Amino acid sequence: MATEKKTMPETDETRPPTPDETPGPESAAPDEAAASGEAADKAPGETPAEPADETARARAEIASLRDQLLRALAETENLRRRAAREREETRKYAITGFARDLLTVVDNLRRALDALPEESREDERFAAFVEGIEMTEREFLAALERHGVRRIEPLGERFDHRYHQAMYEVEDAEHDAGTVVDVMQAGYLIADRLLRPAMVAVAKAADKPKAHVDTEA
């Protein structure tokens, strides 16, 4: 008895593809075609463009480093100037304490000369002695001046509280009020700084006599 051969109905999955449906080069996936097109547009050896945020970050870092460099240079310059100023002040005022101690020696030489009677200067027995003291005083003052120490002799000048110390006032019709009329002790400067003020007497205006009032009229 002959058997019947059963045939399965053809479906889209089991039916062989027709020549029109065979995939060709032009039917490649869209993504692959786009990728191949972008690769073809780029020149050989060209790197991709740097992202904008990376560029901004690099510029900010460069600006920060530049600011730090400028600050460091300014601080270095300030330190250099400060060191130079300190060296100059040290050079000028290094002997301040030593010079102040020597002023008493100069004062004593001047007191010795002022204490000599005028007739002793004319006496041959004392002339050499007086000349020796005067020469010693001059050499002392010259040595101080070589180191920036100068004497203040304000006699006849206007009183200046920066350099003078008023010890008392005296009525003097020959000088204007505020004029130095006597110097008890000379003052000294070291460079442009006061080492010791001059002790002085200052003239003041004479008191006006009180007007007489006639009480009997």
pLDDT in tens, 148-183: 999 998 999 999 999 999 999 998 888 889 999 999
Single-letter code of the amino acid located at 123: D
Report which of 163, 168, 165, 152 is spatially closest to residue 203, judged by C-alpha positions.
Answer: 168
169 inside domain: yes
45 Rama sector, left if φ>0, alpha if ψ -120 to 50, beta otherwise? left
Q: State pLDDT tens for residues 174-216.
A: 888 999 999 999 999 998 899 999 999 999 887 655 555 455 5
- On average, the pLDDT of the chain sits at 79
Q: How many domains does the chain have?
A: 1
> For residue 10, is pLDDT > 80?
no
Question: Cβ distance 200 to 166 under 8 Å?
Answer: yes
More confident position, 127 or 188? 188
25 inside domain: no
122 inside domain: no
Calculate what percentage of the chain has a pLDDT beyond 90. Answer: 46
> What CATH number should be reported for the domain holding residue 194?
2.30.22.10
Provide the residue range defining the domain that includes 195.
Answer: 149-207
Q: State pLDDT tens for residues 26-57.
A: 444 445 444 445 544 555 555 555 567 888 89
Choose the weakest-confidence range: 13-22, 123-132, 197-206: 13-22
Question: Residue 119: what pLDDT?
Answer: 80
99 inside domain: no
What's the number of CA atoms in the CB half-sphere (13 Å) around residue 185? Answer: 17
193 inside domain: yes
